[in-house]
């Protein structure tokens, strides 16, 4: 089987590549270093030649300041569905964020872009599975909410229910190889935690003693529980302690 992984060098995508390689899948690793730009579409149609499924775990960066994130993400998704159609790729597994449709996020540009991406893939006519997840433990270092300084770490006060990127990759790989038939596939982790606490525990586990300072989130809803998983989400481990132990 031949499967393309978009975002093959990313936090989720690199893990998907490892899992598919272990299953003896022929993996097409899609990233800019391999000559594919999702935003311009350069190299994409050729990269999908002979592919039976695409896992889109990308996070398309704007090429420069003249384009905003939303434009880059939605352009990339339009290019992906067009390329899949042109190469008659039968399946697309698309990674997204759980809860972006909550009206509390109507003013949050990145989540508006995620909504539009989901709507593009769902209306594409392809056989699509959207895998939507809560934040990952690895979000504890994400520049969207965490800033590292020499003498401190500033972390926005998000209330999250994190799942491990390894677990997300397991689900993405499985859905590309043998679809569950569920759509969307909604997954979360077992524990609720405030992001500053998650960042502090991660830092300490790695021997980093810098103080962690809590700062206001970009939107009040981020700290108020709007990111927590709904009942329908599947809860998958590991728990926080086990994840921290895996870092050591």
Ligand X SMILES: NC(=O)c1ccc[n+]([C@@H]2O[C@H](COP(=O)([O-])OP(=O)(O)OC[C@H]3O[C@@H](n4cnc5c(N)ncnc54)[C@H](OP(=O)(O)O)[C@@H]3O)[C@@H](O)[C@H]2O)c1
Residues lying near ligand X in the complex (CB under 6 A) are found at 7-13, 31-33, 36-39, 57-61, 95, 97, 133, 135-136, 139, 142
Q: How far is the CB of 151 from ligand X (least distance, A)?
A: 26
Contacts 24+ apart (CB under 8 A), 200-206: 200/155, 201/240, 201/244, 202/137, 202/140, 202/141, 202/244, 202/247, 203/153, 205/244, 205/245, 205/247, 205/248, 206/247, 206/248
For ligand X, the closer CB: 8 or 20 = 8
Least Å from the CB of residue 188 to ligand X: 10
Shortest distance, position 94 Cβ to ligand X, whole Å: 9
Provide the token pair at 94: 């698309």
The residue (of 13 and 212) whose beta carbon lies closer to ligand X is: 13
Which residue lies nearer to ligand X by CB, 49 or 211? 49
Distance between first and last Cα of the chain: 35
Report DSSP state, residue 133.
E
Kindly tell me which of 151 and 170 has the beta carbon lying closer to ligand X.
170
Contacts of 198 (CB under 8 A, 6+ apart): 137, 139, 140, 160, 162, 240
Nearer to ligand X, 61 or 218 (CB): 61
Q: What is the nearest approach in angstroms of ligand X to the Cβ of residue 231?
A: 19
CA distance 99 to 142: 18
The DSSP code for 56 is E
What is the nearest approach in angstroms of ligand X to the Cβ of residue 74? 12
Nearest to residue 159, comparing CAs of 235, 229, 224, 213? 224
CA 23 to chain centre: 22
Min dist. Cβ of residue 41 to ligand X (A): 9
- The residue written with tokens 């939605």 in the block is 74
Measured from the CB atom, the residue of 126 and 165 that comes closer to ligand X is: 165
């Amino acid at each position: 089987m031949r499967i393309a992984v978009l975002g093959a060098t990313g936090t989720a995508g690199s893990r998907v590549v490892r899992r598919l390689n272990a299953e003896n899948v022929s993996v097409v690793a899609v990233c800019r270093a391999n000559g594919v730009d999702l935003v311009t579409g350069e190299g994409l149609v050729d990269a999908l030649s002979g592919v039976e499924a695409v896992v889109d775990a990308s996070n398309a960066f704007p090429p420069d300041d003249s384009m905003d994130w939303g434009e880059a993400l939605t352009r990339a998704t339009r290019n992906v569905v067009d390329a899949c159609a042109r190469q008659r790729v039968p399946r697309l597994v698309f990674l997204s964020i759980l809860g972006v449709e909550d009206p509390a996020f109507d003013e949050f540009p990145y989540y508006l872009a995620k909504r539009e991406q989901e709507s593009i893939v769902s209306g594409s006519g392809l056989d699509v599975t959207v895998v939507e997840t809560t934040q990952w433990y690895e979000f504890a270092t994400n520049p969207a909410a965490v800033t590292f300084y020499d003498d401190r770490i500033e972390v926005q006060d998000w209330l999250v229910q994190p799942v491990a990127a390894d677990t997300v990759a397991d689900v993405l790989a499985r859905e590309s190889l043998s679809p569950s038939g569920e759509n969307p596939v909604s997954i979360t982790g077992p524990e609720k935690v405030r992001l500053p606490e998650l960042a502090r525990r991660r830092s300490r586990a790695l021997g980093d003693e810098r103080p962690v300072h809590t700062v206001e989130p970009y939107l009040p809803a981020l700290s108020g529980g709007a990111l927590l998983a709904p009942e329908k989400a599947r809860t998958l481990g590991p728990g926080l302690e086990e994840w921290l132990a895996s870092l050591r």
